[in-house]
C-alpha cells in the first residue's frame, strides 16, 4: 500500500488552525469536547482569520458554560462537571491565536475564565482533586492532585508535565483520565512559562527543568497518599525535552515517558531560518538580527507574526534574538546518558516540530528504553497523536503496568 500524504488538511487549509481543530476533536475521547460543539465552531471560522477563530470558540465556550451553570444550580453534579471541562477546553482554544486578533489584551481575561471552569471541574470530581501549591520562587506553582478512588492510598502516581503552550485543562486528555481509569493517581501543575505562571506571574521558561521537577517530587513525597517508590514522569510536546533534562538529575522517579522525544528544542526554529540568519545569530548582532526578523515577518503577513509571538510569549522577551538564544539552551544531549529509569518514547509518523528526534533520544539513552511508533495508517500520526489519545494511552500505560504497577 502506498504511503498516505504526510500532511492533509481536513477542515481548513490554514495549517495551524487545522491542526488545532484536530487536537480539540481528539479531546472527545475523554469528554473534554463534544463533536457537534466542535463542528459548530468550525462552521464560524473564516480561513486564516484569527478574530473569527477567537469569536467562534468563545461563543461555544460561553454556551457550554451556561449548560454547566444550569446543571450545577439543579444539583446535577456529573452533568455540571462534564460541561465545565468542555467549557474550559473551549475557552483555552479561543486564545491559542490571540496575538493575531484585533485585541490581544483579551487573552488573560479569557484564560482566567478557562481556569475558573477547570477549577469547577476539579472540585466536582469524585473524589475531588486536591488543589496544591508547590514551593517555587518567585511564586508557588499551582497543581492538582487526582486520586483514582476514595481510599487513602498510597497510590502510584504519574506527574504529567505540560508542553510549551497547552492549557492546564489539556492534561485531562493528555494523561490524567487514562491514568485514573487504570488505578494511578495523577498530578498536573503549571511550571515556569506555563499557564498561571506565565499569564499571572510573568515567570518564564527555564532549560534546567530539574529545578522544577525536584520541588514537584518533594511536594508529592510529603503526601501520605503517594507511594514514594512508584512515581513516574510524563511529558508531552516540549515536555519531551523537559522530562529528559529533569530525569538526568532527579533520580527518585521510577519511570519516564516522552511524547515525542525531544533532544534539541531549537531545531524546530532553526530549520525555518536561512543560513544567513543563523550566521547573524551566531555573530551576536542583536539589533541587526531583530531588524531582519521584523522585515521578514512583515513580508510573511499576520499569520507568520502571530505564530512567532505565541512561541516567544513563554520566554518573556520581545527580542527575537534573545528568544532564539534562550531556546538553544534546551538541548539534552550533554546530560541524557545520566538518565537511569526505564523510558517510554513515542515516535509518531509525520512529526512536525522535532522529526527524527524520538529515534535520536532512543539511540542516546543508556537506560532501559522502549520506542513505540504511531502510524498514519492508525490515524495516530502527527505531533502528540492528536486524533489517537485512546490508542496512545493504551500503549503507554500498558508499557507502564509492569514497570510501575498500579497495584502491588
Domain boundaries, given as residue ranges, for the chain: 12-124, 127-265+330-401, 267-327
- Greater confidence (87 vs 15) lies with 87
- Whether the Cβ atoms of residue 198 and residue 227 lie closer than 8 Å to each other: no
Out of 237, 319, 327, 333, the active site residue is 237
Q: Is 73 a catalytic residue?
A: no
> End-to-end distance of the chain based on CA atoms, in angstroms?
45
Contact between 108 and 117 (Cβ < 8 Å): no
Four-residue CA torsion sign, 401, 404, 407, 408: positive
Which residue is listed with cell 483555552? 92
Question: In this predicted model, which residue has the larger pLDDT, 13 or 141?
Answer: 141
Q: Other CB atoms closer than 10 Å to residue 9's CB: what's the count?
A: 13
- Asked if 328 and 359 touch (Cβ cutoff 8 Å), the reply is no
Give the closest residue to 165 by CA, choosing from 314, 320, 23, 319: 314
In whole angstroms, give the CA distance from residue 385 to residue 3.
18
Main-chain phi, psi angles of 186, to 5 degrees:
-140, 140
Domain over 12-124 is classified CATH 3.40.1130: no
pLDDT of the residue at 299: 84
pLDDT value at position 334?
A: 98
Sheet holding 185-189, edge to edge: 130-134, 141-146, 185-189, 155-161, 226-236, 255-259, 343-348, 369-374
Q: What is the mean pLDDT of residues 300-326?
A: 90
d(CA 336, CA 205): 20
What fold is seen in the domain 127-265+330-401?
A: Rossmann fold (3.40.50)
Peptide bond preceding 154: is omega within 30 degrees of 0, i.e. cis?
yes
Q: How many CA atoms lie within 13 A of 191 on its CB side?
A: 29
CA distance 78 to 389: 23
Q: What is the pLDDT of residues 314-361, one digit of tens each?
A: 999 999 999 999 999 999 999 999 999 999 999 999 999 999 999 999
Residue 320 near residue 292 (C-beta atoms within 8 A): no
- Give the global pTM: 0.96
Q: How far apart are CA 197 and CA 220, in angstroms?
A: 20
pLDDT digits (tens, 9 = 90+) for 376-402: 999 999 999 999 999 999 999 999 999
For Cα atoms 12, 15, 177, give the angle at the middle one, nearest 5 degrees. Answer: 90
Q: Which three cell numbers stand for residue 396?
A: 503507554
Give pLDDT, residue 4: 47
- Inter-residue contact 23 to 386 (CB < 8 Å): yes
**Is the pLDDT assigned to residue 280 strictly greater than 80?**
yes
Q: Are 160 and 104 in contact (CB under 8 A)?
A: no
Q: Grid cell 511529558 — which residue?
A: 235
What confidence score (pLDDT) does residue 271 get? Answer: 86
Amino acid at each position: 500500500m502506498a504511503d498516505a500524504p504526510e500532511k492533509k488538511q481536513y477542515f481548513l487549509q490554514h495549517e495551524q488552525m487545522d491542526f488545532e481543530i484536530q487536537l480539540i476533536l481528539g479531546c472527545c475521547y475523554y469528554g473534554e469536547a463534544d463533536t457537534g460543539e466542535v463542528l459548530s465552531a468550525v462552521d464560524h471560522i473564516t480561513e486564516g482569520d484569527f478574530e473569527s477563530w477567537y469569536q467562534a470558540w468563545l461563543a461555544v465556550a460561553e454556551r457550554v458554560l451556561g449548560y454547566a451553570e444550569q446543571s450545577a444550580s439543579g444539583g446535577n453534579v456529573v452533568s455540571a462537571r462534564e460541561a465545565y471541562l468542555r467549557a474550559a477546553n473551549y475557552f483555552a482554544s479561543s486564545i491559542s491565536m490571540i496575538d493575531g486578533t484585533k485585541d490581544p489584551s483579551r487573552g488573560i481575561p479569557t484564560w482566567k475564565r478557562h481556569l475558573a471552569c477547570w477549577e469547577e471541574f476539579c472540585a466536582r470530581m469524585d473524589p475531588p482533586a486536591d488543589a496544591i501549591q508547590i514551593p517555587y520562587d518567585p511564586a508557588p506553582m499551582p497543581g492538582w492532585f487526582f486520586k483514582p478512588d476514595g481510599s487513602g492510598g498510597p497510590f502510584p502516581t504519574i506527574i504529567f508535565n505540560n508542553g510549551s503552550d497547552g492549557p492546564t485543562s489539556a492534561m485531562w486528555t493528555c494523561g490524567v483520565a487514562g491514568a485514573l481509569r487504570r488505578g494511578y493517581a495523577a498530578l498536573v501543575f503549571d511550571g515556569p512559562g506555563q499557564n498561571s505562571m506565565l499569564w499571572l506571574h510573568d515567570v518564564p521558561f527555564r532549560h534546567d527543568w530539574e529545578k522544577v521537577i525536584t520541588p514537584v517530587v518533594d511536594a508529592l513525597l510529603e503526601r501520605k497518599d503517594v507511594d514514594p517508590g512508584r512515581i513516574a514522569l510524563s511529558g508531552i510536546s516540549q515536555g519531551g525535552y523537559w522530562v529528559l533534562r529533569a530525569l538526568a538529575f532527579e533520580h527518585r522517579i521510577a519511570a519516564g515517558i516522552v511524547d515525542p522525544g525531544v533532544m534539541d528544542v531549537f531545531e524546530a526554529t532553526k530549520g525555518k531560518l536561512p543560513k544567513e540568519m543563523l550566521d547573524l545569530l551566531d555573530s551576536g548582532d542583536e539589533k541587526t538580527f531583530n531588524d531582519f526578523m521584523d522585515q521578514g515577518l512583515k513580508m510573511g503577513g499576520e499569520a507568520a507574526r502571530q505564530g512567532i509571538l505565541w512561541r516567544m510569549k513563554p520566554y518573556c522577551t520581545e527580542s527575537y534574538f534573545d528568544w532564539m538564544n534562550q531556546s538553544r539552551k534546551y538541548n539534552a544531549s550533554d546530560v541524557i546518558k545520566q538518565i537511569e529509569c526505564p523510558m517510554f518514547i513515542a515516535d509518531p509518523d509525520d512529526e512536525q516540530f522535532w522529526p527524527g528526534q524520538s529515534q535520536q533520544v532512543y539511540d542516546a539513552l543508556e537506560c532501559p528504553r522502549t520506542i513505540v511508533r504511531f502510524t498514519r495508517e492508525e490515524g495516530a500520526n502527527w505531533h502528540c497523536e492528536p486524533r489517537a489519545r485512546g490508542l496512545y494511552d493504551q500503549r503507554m500505560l500498558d508499557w507502564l503496568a509492569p514497570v510501575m504497577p498500579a497495584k502491588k
